[in-house]
Structure 1
Amino acid sequence: MRIGLVVDSACDLPKAFLDQHNFTILPITVRIGEAVLADHRDEQATLEFLHSHVATRGHEAETMPFTVQQIHDLFLGRLVIDYDYVFCMTITKTRSPIFDNASQASFSILNDYRPIRAAAGHDTPFALRVIDTQNLFAAQGVLAVEAARLVAAGEGAPKIRARLEHLALHTQGYLIPPDLYYLRNRARTKGDRSVGLLSAALGTALDIKPVLHCNRGETGPAAKIKGFEPAVQKTLEHVARRVEAGDLLTPTVCMSYGGELEELHRLPGYENLRAACRANNVEFFESVMSLTGMVNVGKGAVVVGFAAEGQKFSG
């Protein structure tokens, strides 16, 4: 069985990995004023857009994910011919309509694919599964990496589906935003009142940074730490301890940064986490954060994800 993999462009993984495993990207288009970029996981284009537009006006951005019709057309134009079964893994449905759009599109895809496959010489059924990763950005990558491993190992679709749905429940994503004012302004632009002016002002005045935790689609503060770099360090130390304890359900840690990766490498805790992963045979993936991620959480934000049971932050 030919199994294909689809992710949206908010899934933070290196483009080389996505290309190696033939991932199809559902691009998310970002508009800031007159500037428009469809995010296809091109890190150079993302960084250029960041430096030109996001740093000053990113909170005003409009993000436009693939519509139901665009997803339908993508599948019928290529995927129903190239594959027999496709897993489409999306950013959490609590933060984006991509999961709902893909789910809605799946009904018409399964109704319309037969003549297209027949014309291409395929007389077998086509199937697809839309999976809500229930997480964001780098943490989405945990499921995508495991899916690629299972496909490469020749596992069947039922086993892959069960494994991914289980991991989605236990993927832990941690986000450290550097600028609470930016986060507040972005939230207000989207109609989200979860970051109030008072908390943003107090956090900025006292240099208090929240460590935000995402699991099962819910995002909330895991800790509040004075200073951005100490917050990053304590978060990465927490992840390193989970790695060293053998807690991970899959040998994967994914990390993304809202800027040049050289800046990420200089942050405290980064080298210790890399060393912990190497010592425990855990694969470490790092990438420039998606354009969607950066306009939502700000330039310089750090995200790290892994799969493990238990959510208690021990920073």
Structure 2
Amino acid sequence: MTVRIVTDSSCDLSAAEIERFKITVVPLTIRFGDEEFTDGQGLSAEGFYKMMAARGDLPSTAAPAPGAFEAVFRSLADRGADAVVCINLSFALSATGESAQNAARALEGEVDVRVVDSGKVSVGLGLMVKAAAIAAEAGRSADEIEAHLAQLKDRVIIYAALDTLDNLKKGGRIGTAQALLGSALSIKPCLDLTTGVVEEAGKQRTRGKARAWLAKQVAAAGELEELALAHGAADDIDAFAASLGDAPAHNPMTVTLIGPVVGTHAGPGVIAAAFIPAP
């Protein structure tokens, strides 16, 4: 059985990883005022942060239309896929998964499509997508991959330290972290994104303390199967990565730039850590 893996552009996987694991990515769109860009095609991650810094208005995002997913699903089936597993960012944070589900329903009886709510964002989603792609490469069935993802969903942990709440507040994705809105401007909010919604996990008075808090969460998990870091053009990402040490649990560790989809809501300077504790 040939199973192909699809995800959306919030996964923050590198181009090399996408090519290596034969993953198909359906892009979201980014809007700056009246200007609209296709994530990863009309606007790079680097260009996005430069544009956000230069403009006064905050960007917004839009989910792909069901037709975009339908075209991808049909194309993969035409090229020999027996089934497609589409893993999307948390349904609680985006309508992207709903678009994928609508596309799957439109192809019911023609293409076997499984749409999975990862319950994750950014590199947390990326870890699940890679795991699914590795399983597909090993010849696992769509049923087996779905079951594996359901188990993995409960194991992937994501924490983030933000530099600003402006983007999250404007985008309406503040979740249960509403209490942070009354904090002093100098407070650095710390979030738990593990359950697929934004939850307050703490607040620190300085950037350095926020980084230390994030490192502590990683260390407290003990031995890790995987560790992925992501950041919103943070100039201190190297210092943070170095603070984690070189324990075997942290190798290999990936570090990627957060793309425009998550960067729109998390804002510049965010640092996130997604990891899977060893059983």
TM-score (norm: length of structure 1): 0.79
SS of equivalent to 2:183? helix
Equivalent-residue separation in structure 2 for 1:110 and 1:127 (angstroms): 7
Aligned partners of 1:210 and 1:221 also within 8 Å:
yes
Q: CA deviation at 1:159?
A: 2.0
Q: Which has the higher helix share?
A: 1
Which residue of 2 is the match for residue 98 of structure 1?
A: 96
CA distance in 2, matches of 1:307, 1:167: 8
Tell me, yes or no, if structure 1 residue 229 matches structure 2 residue 208: yes
Identity between Structure 1 and Structure 2 (%) = 21
Aligned pair in 2 of structure 1 residues 282, 151: CA closer, same or farther (>3 Å)? Answer: farther
Q: CA deviation at 1:297?
A: 1.3
Cα shift readout 1:67-94 (whole Å, capped 9, x = no counterpart): 1122112222x11122111111100000
Matching residue of 2:228: 254
- Give the superposition deviation at 1:39: 0.8
Cα distance in 1 between the residues matched to 2:246 and 2:187: 28
CA shift in 2, pair 1:67/1:169, >3 Å: same
Which of 140, 146, 159 lines up with 1:155 in the alignment? Answer: 140
State the distance in 1 between where 2:125 and 2:189 align. Answer: 21
Alignment pair present for 1:4 and 2:4: yes
Q: Confirm whether residue 165 of structure 1 aligns to residue 139 of structure 2.
A: no
Offset of residue 156 of structure 1: 2.9
Q: Which amino acid aligns with 2:76?
A: L
Report the CA distance between 1:239 and its aligned residue: 0.8
Partner of 1:69: 67
Supply the distance in 2 between the matched residues of 1:235 and 1:84 (Cα, whole angstroms).
42
The one-letter code matched in structure 2 to 1:271 is: A
Separation of aligned partners in 1, 2:49 and 2:64:
21
* Offset from partner CA, 1:145-200 (integer Å, 9 cap, x none): 2112222333333222111111112321112110134433x24xx4868666x944
> RMSD of the TM alignment (CA)?
2.6
Partner deviation per Cα, 1:38-70 (whole Å, 9 max, x = no partner): 11379x8221132023563453x2312111122
- In structure 2, stretches of 5+ residues that fail to align are none
Indicate conservation of the 8 Å contact 1:139/1:303, yes or no.
no
Count the aligned residue pairs: 278
Secondary structure of the 1:70 match is helix
Equivalent positions of 1:26-37 (< 5 A) are 26-37=26-37
How far residue 36 of structure 1 moved from its aligned partner, in angstroms, is 2.3
Which has the higher Rg, Structure 1 or Structure 2?
Answer: 1
1:131 to 107, 110, 116: 116
Answer yes or no: is the 8 Å Cα contact 1:233–1:267 preserved in 2.
no
